[in-house]
Amino acid sequence: MPWAERSVVKLRKEFVLKALAQDVPFRELCREFGISRKTGYKWLERFHERGLEGLVDQSTRPQSSPGRTTSEIAVEIIRLRQAHGTWGPKKIRKLLSKRLPLESDLPSLRTISRVLSRVHLLRKKRRRRPADQGWMLQAARKHVVVEVPNDVWTVDFKGWWTTGDGRRCEPLTVRDAFSRYILALRILPRSDTERVRAVFEELFERHGLPKVIQSDNGAPFAAGRSLAGLTKLSAWWISLGIDIVRSRPGCPQDNGAHERMHADISVELQTQAAQSIRAQQRACDDWRVEFNHVRPHEALAMQTPSEVYRPSQRRLMRALVGGFPDDAEIVKLGAHGKFWLDGRHHVFVSSSLGGLQIGLERMDDGLIHVWYHHLLIGHLRVGPMVGRNVTVQPLTPSVASAKGGDTQGDTPGDTAKQPATEVSPPGASAWPHGPAEDAVRGDTAGGVTTEGPPPSEKGAFEDPARQRI
């Protein structure tokens, strides 16, 4: 037969009945049941006060909880969570601290988590295996240290969605990497160079120039078939003294913080698409204001981006250009990115640089390095055996390492450069017409001329000083 099971309450009842009978000394009775005399007297006292109900365990819950969260605060926590579906307890607590009059009324993070869990508004985080960070050890990309606002701006197009009337919505996003401040969240009719450049001209006027702009390898930021991946847009950035850093193809983690911001847009804007492009742009503007001025960020010590961001001291009116090697021959390319070299070779550089200036650095071994401001973009070699039409070749690793340049256009070379020149905003001297263009138009410095018929020796410069901007 199985052992008879006796509950704790039955044992206490048996103990009390034997104690009331007084057949066994109280000390020995307590030893028999394995309890102390103090515990035995406690159960006798409860039996005299309540009878058999006193032998049941009472609730250990305190009769009063002075620190208990009030229903008003709990309702406010739930309301904030419903209004901001991606905000966690830390951000909600930061907002509550600004609304509650007394700091003693502010609930803890654990309390906020419990309130949200009870109403099923808190998602459990999945534990992920740490990603392989071996790519950080590669030296193919320029290492950029972000220490203050405007050290790096990141730019990308958010994946498109459709509005209620069926129109495609693909916003351009620009943010400051240090402060997380969203500089632009603009829906453009087309993602071409002209419209993206107009947005950046507005940003440069309002916020100044960054040191570095980071983008992916898609249009209009980069071109896979162009020298150093330059497009008309990125070439314009470089002409203003801005360095370019690109993510590796197929590696969104290189710009992970920007992609994380896109994930918030997907949850809070894309899932609630407006009925028209105009209404969607208003929703984007409201969301950007909330993100910059209301939403606290843990990486910023729970400050908002607007509390950290400051405009750049590098204003557009004093943008820096130049940076060619000291011994470089300055050449203005034709509209199609070509020029004549030594009156014999018609050289194609890049259609993205059409109408702009490049620098030619002749080496002792006959190799000619091609520079665009501080950026080494390619090389060419000419001679008696080379035909009439020549194309500048992209850099090989050996050439890039020898010159200190970078094959991706991310790291400037370490060759001595010309002093940078201060210019006016776009449309004045540096881009694409103006006094700088007039200084080289129709000239043949060092046997070089722009696209057109081969030059004659009669029009060559005699003053070397006129060969530079």
Cβ–Cβ under 8 Å, residues 357 and 469: yes
Mean pLDDT by runs of 10 across the 469 residues of the chain is 66 85 85 88 86 79 65 85 83 84 78 85 64 35 81 93 92 95 94 94 94 91 88 92 87 87 91 92 95 91 94 73 81 91 86 91 88 89 75 68 47 40 40 35 44 44 33
CA distances from 315 to 74, 150, 182, 320 (A): 48, 12, 19, 10
Same domain assignment for residues 286 and 369? no
pLDDT of residue 117: 85
* Rounded Cα distance, 169 and 108, in Å: 40
What is the spatial distance between Cα 36 and Cα 302, in angstroms, rounded to a whole number?
A: 54
d(CA 372, CA 394) in angstroms, rounded, equals: 13
Do 174 and 302 lie in a common domain?
A: yes
Place of tokens 């997380």: 180
333 in the same domain as 209: no
C-beta separation of 382 from 342 below 8 A: yes
What radius of gyration do the chain's Cα atoms show? 36
Rounded-to-integer distance, Cα 92 and Cα 74, Å = 11
Q: CA-CA distances (angstroms) from residue 285 to 64, 187, 191, 289?
A: 47, 10, 19, 6
Give dist(CA 244, CA 2) in Å, integer.
81
| Rounded-to-5 percentages of helix, strand, coil across the chain | 40, 15, 45
How many of the other CB atoms lie within 10 Å of CB of 105?
15
Domain end, chosen from 81, 101, 118, is at: 118
The answer to whether 369 and 227 are in contact (CB under 8 A) is: no
Per the structure, the complete domain to which residue 101 belongs is given by 72-118
Task: Identify whether residues 158 and 239 lie together within a single domain.
Answer: yes
Largest CA distance in the chain: 136
Are 387 and 337 members of one domain? yes
Cis peptide, bond prior to residue 432, ω within 30 of zero? yes
327 and 294 co-located in one domain = no
Cα separation of the two ends of the chain: 107
Same domain? 95 vs 17: no
Beta bridge partners of 380: 368
Q: What is the pLDDT of residue 211?
A: 93
407 within a domain of the structure (yes/no): yes
Residue 187: CB atoms within 10 Å: 19
The CATH number of the domain holding residue 279 is: 3.30.420.10
Establish if 123 belongs to a structural domain. no
Question: What b/e sequence results for 382-394 when a residue is b if at least 16 CB atoms lie within 10 Å of its CB, and e otherwise?
Answer: beeeeeeebebeb
* Residue 134 in domain: no
**pLDDT at residue 198, as a whole number:** 95
Residues 301, 154 share a domain? yes
Tokens of 367: 């190799």
Distance CA 444, CA 461 (A): 6
3-class DSSP state for residue 53? helix
Q: Other C-beta atoms within 10 Å of 312: how many?
A: 18
Question: Per residue, what are the HEC states of 306-323?
Answer: HHHCCCCCCCHHHEEECC
Helices (runs of H) and strands (runs of E) counted in the chain: 13, 17
Rounded to whole angstroms, the Cα distance separating 346 from 449 reads 10
Q: Are residues 19 and 85 in the same domain?
A: no
Residue 192 half-sphere exposure, CB side, CA atoms within 13 Å?
A: 3
Which residues are bridge partners to 372 per DSSP? 375
Query: Do 76 and 45 belong together in one domain?
Result: no
Give 148's DSSP letter: S
Same domain, 335 and 412: yes
Same domain? For 160 and 296 the reply is yes
- Where does a domain end: 270, 291, 317? 317
pLDDT on residue 417:
47
Cα distance between residue 460 and residue 452, in whole Å: 15
Please state the domain count of the chain.
Answer: 4
Residue 131 domain-assigned? no
